[in-house]
Amino acid sequence: MSHQSELIATDINAYLAEHERKELLRFITCGSVDDGKSTLIGRLLYDSKLIYEDQLAKIEKDSQIHGTLGGDFDPALLTDGLRAEREQGITIDVAYRYFSTAKRKFIIADTPGHVQYTRNMATGASTADLAVILVDARHGILEQTRRHSFIVSLLGIRHILVAINNMDLVDYSEEVYDRIREDYRGFAARLDIPDLHFIPISALKGDNVVEQSENMTWYHGSTLMNFLESVYIGSDRNLQDFRFPVQIVLRPNLDFRGFAGTISSGIVRVGDEIVTMPSRKKSRIKEIVTFDGNLQEACAPMSVTLTLEDEVDCSRGDMIVRTGNVPDLEQQFDATVVWMSETAMVPGKQYLIKQTTKTVPGTIKTLRYRIDVNSMHRIQTPSLTLNEIGRVNVSLSEPISLDRYRKNRSTGAFIIIDRITYETVGAGMILDRHTDETRKDHWDDDPQIQTLVHSDSKVSDEERTARFGQRAVTVLLTGLPGSGKSTTAQALERYLFEQGRSAMVLDGQNLRMGINRDLGLSVEDRSENMRRCAEIAKLFNESGLISLLSLVAPDEEVRNKASGVVGEDRFLVVHLNAPAELCAQRNAGEREITDQALLKYEAPDNPDLVLDTENQSTSECVASIVKLLQQHNVID
């Protein structure tokens, strides 16, 4: 459907040329059941006058039979086209709608809200630039809201609009809107959502959908349509890394040999030096051929045929890339998988793994854990069932050319196919860091040398307490980067020193410059960092010292493991609680903040002390920790 334009009647060719140059925005609507996804799309198109007259007449007629509004016009019927959908009043399959305005072209994917159709939602989100997540103002954040938000984050969708719907049913309350917005922000702080927005709407009444609502004068932001037309997506596409998976080799005659496919990312120009993967044969681009004639350059996502100056061995499944900027060639990698089959995943079973245009046999070598989408906790499990999400290690029969999903959504994604039924049973995203057997945490590992014997000290704990005038303890200061951990730990160390006490700060960044320099900022590396720090702190405690750990330590399970290493009677947790926005502002320019978007921080369940570092000064924080130490008889 197209917007009204005078050019359609006066100069159709000029209109088509103008239409072709418009930017395309793909977006999905998702959320829990009955949050109003289909109603919103119908209202959006209806108020924008983008529904054909015959289509409108049919919907008005169907509203008498299948509508849920007592015979009144039901905009949800525009997308709920299946008979089962209309009978049950739910969305079952992904419904796509195409329309355009004077500023943009749009493709909408209306995705189901029911748990059993989560795989359909993941399919619709796989190509989207933006996600509109609906939340019913009456019910707030629900389990399926969290699940869809997590999948949207997992699939690398950068722009999220949370539309708080049914505001008319809560008397357009600003208080309700603010509460739901803060609840969602608290949950989303643990997800990778770079661009998050909120709009209060009534999809049924049309408030803030196309026109500004007169019932919510307290809201001064944009309408949904204005946001869709103006959100900037120009920097989302990867134009740096040229990737061209070969789909077919064209050989119409003896004088022409071209490689046809779709450019996944980057830009290619005539004369560019390229290399074919996996053979690593070099050549140069001779021609860029299209149906409309040859081009001097092409970019993603154009479909073209490339000819090379040299005769090189290249076929379907191979990849043409630019010299000096090649993808990884790997036979084993870690990935996050969404399981999409009612038949459970079997680690070790042979599957077909399809990535870009290449299909190779492979296995799920190990299932590391399943992710609970509500708590973000990792759960040990032998298998994945329908709609469950887990981290796996994939082993292939031959290497493939790949990028990490965060870098390139095309070359970093794959599907898992059952070799017998040829059913797509899973979809995966290749993780940013490769984790092999040497890149894991070692909490449960036994020492490499089995004959080791623990050596006991000749000095007792009581003697050390008497000598130093303190009881040995480990204090973990945990919080987001920028929450003030290092500042507080160092000030506390100085205070204890001036009081004649003996304390040592173990700072995460300092440790990564030395003993932990082999560790990055991945979940596994943070876990191993915590394990090593706990072992060092334990040795300090056995020497009678107070250990002050300044670590992000984002995972509650890992913190509990550290407590077990040090000893629960010697382990205190202090949570430095500060808003994520303030932490990012404080930590601007620091290296650790670059991992902030990927950081899934879990606040401690039962910390011994919580410090509000937004409103408390460093000296006040130190005083609170000193009081905690006195309460636990660590110092007088």
Please tell me the predicted confidence (pLDDT) of residue 102.
78
C-alpha–C-alpha distance, residues 458 and 217, integer Å = 75
Single residue among 411, 430, 449 that ends a domain in this structure: 430
207 backbone dihedrals φ, ψ, rounded to 5°: -65, 125
Does position 64 have pLDDT exceeding 60, yes or no? Answer: no
- Look at 33 and 625; give whichever has higher pLDDT: 625
The per-residue pLDDT for 122 is 74
Backbone φ/ψ region at 97: left (φ over 0), alpha (ψ -120 to 50), beta: beta
Q: Based on the domain organization, do 347 and 392 belong to the same domain?
A: yes
280 compared with 114, residue with greater pLDDT: 280
Mean pLDDT calculated for residue range 212-227: 92
pLDDT tens for 85-105 read 334 444 444 667 787 887 888
Q: State the pLDDT confidence band at 37, using cuts at 50, 70 and 90.
A: confident
Whether 445 is in a domain gets the answer no
pLDDT for 522-542, tens place per residue? Answer: 667 788 889 999 999 999 999
pLDDT for 439 equals: 46
> Is 441 among the domain residues?
no
How far lies 620's CA from each of 91, 623, 627, in Å?
54, 5, 11
Same domain for 311 and 209: no
Residue 51's pLDDT is what? 61
Domain shared by 31 and 107, yes or no = yes
Which has the closest alpha carbon to 244: 228, 264, 258? 264
Instruction: Give yes or no for a cis peptide into 278 (omega within 30° of 0).
Output: yes
Domain at 407, CATH number: 2.40.30.10
**Same-domain pairing of 94 and 220:** yes
CATH number of the domain enclosing 47 = 3.40.50.300
pLDDT band at 309 (very low <50, low <70, confident <90, very high): very high
SS (H, E, C) 172-189: CCHHHHHHHHHHHHHHHC
- The mean pLDDT value for 66-92 works out to 48
Number of domains in the chain: 4
Is the Cβ–Cβ distance between 575 and 553 less than 8 Å? no
Task: Name which of 46-50, 66-70, 88-92, 364-368 the model is least confident about.
Answer: 88-92
Of residues 169 and 447, which shows the higher confidence score? 169
Distance CA 73, CA 164 (A): 22
Burial classification of residue 546, based on how many CB atoms lie within 10 Å of its CB (0-12 exposed, 13-18 middle, 19 or more buried): buried
Please give the pLDDT value at position 537. Answer: 93
65 with 176, same domain: the answer is: yes
Whole-number pLDDT of residue 76: 56
Rounded-to-integer distance, Cα 590 and Cα 597, Å: 13
* Per-residue pLDDT at 66 exceeds 70: no
36 and 125 share one domain = yes
Check if the beta carbon of residue 174 is closer than 8 Å to that of residue 69: no
Residue of 218 and 11 predicted with greater confidence = 218
DSSP 115: G
Confidence band of 191 (pLDDT split at 50, 70, 90): confident
Residue 24 vs residue 6, higher pLDDT: 24
Evaluate if residue 301 carries a pLDDT over 90: no
Q: Which two tokens stand for residue 543?
A: 């020497």
Has residue 287 got a pLDDT over 80?
Answer: yes
452 lies in some domain: no
* Other CB atoms within 10 Å distance of the CB of residue 137: 23
Q: Which residue spans within 111-167 are E strands per DSSP?
A: 130-136, 159-165
Nearest to 482 by CA among 574, 588, 573, 554: 588
Query: Is the confidence at residue 158, as pLDDT, over 50?
Result: yes
The SS3 assignment for 59 reads helix
Q: How far apart are CA 192 and CA 153, in angstroms?
A: 5
Does residue 283 sit within a domain?
yes
Mean residue pLDDT of the chain comes to 83
Q: Are residues 150 and 272 in the same domain?
A: no
Residue 434: its pLDDT value, please? 47
Say which residues have a Cβ less than 8 Å from residue 396's Cβ, sequence separation at least 6: 331, 332, 353, 360, 361, 362
Among 298, 322, 346, the domain-final residue is 322
pLDDT at 2 over 50: no
541 inside domain: yes
Half-sphere exposure of 232 (CA within 13 A, CB side): 4
| Residue at a domain's end among 204, 230, 256 | 230
Residue 110 near residue 117, CB atoms below 8 Å: no
Q: Based on the fold, state whether residues 111 and 258 are members of the same structural domain.
A: no
Asked if the structure places residue 444 within a domain, the reply is no
The residue assigned the tokens 């009678």 is 544
Residue 318 and residue 334 share a domain: no
Residue 436 within a domain: no
User: Cβ distance 304 to 246 under 8 Å?
Assistant: no
Whether the predicted model's global pTM rises above the 0.75 cut: no
Model confidence band, residue 516 (pLDDT cutoffs 50, 70, 90):
confident
**How many angstroms separate the CA atoms of 383 and 437, rounded?**
20
Whole-number pLDDT of residue 435? 44
For residues 362 and 411, state if they share a domain: yes
Query: Residue 351: what pLDDT?
Result: 96
| Range with the largest mean pLDDT of 119-123, 142-146, 192-196, 241-245 | 241-245
Contact status, residue 95 vs residue 80, Cβ threshold 8 Å: yes
Same domain for 155 and 222?
yes
Does 324 or 222 have the greater pLDDT score? 222
Q: Measured between alpha carbons, how far is 135 from 33 in angstroms, rounded to an integer?
A: 10
- How far apart are alpha carbons 84 and 81 in whole angstroms? 9
The whole-number pLDDT of residue 447 equals 66
495, part of any domain: yes
Residues 112 and 184 in one domain: yes
* pLDDT of the residue at 87: 44
Task: Write out the residue range of the structural domain in which residue 136 sits.
Answer: 6-230
Burial of 10 (0-12, 13-18, 19+ CB in 10 A): exposed
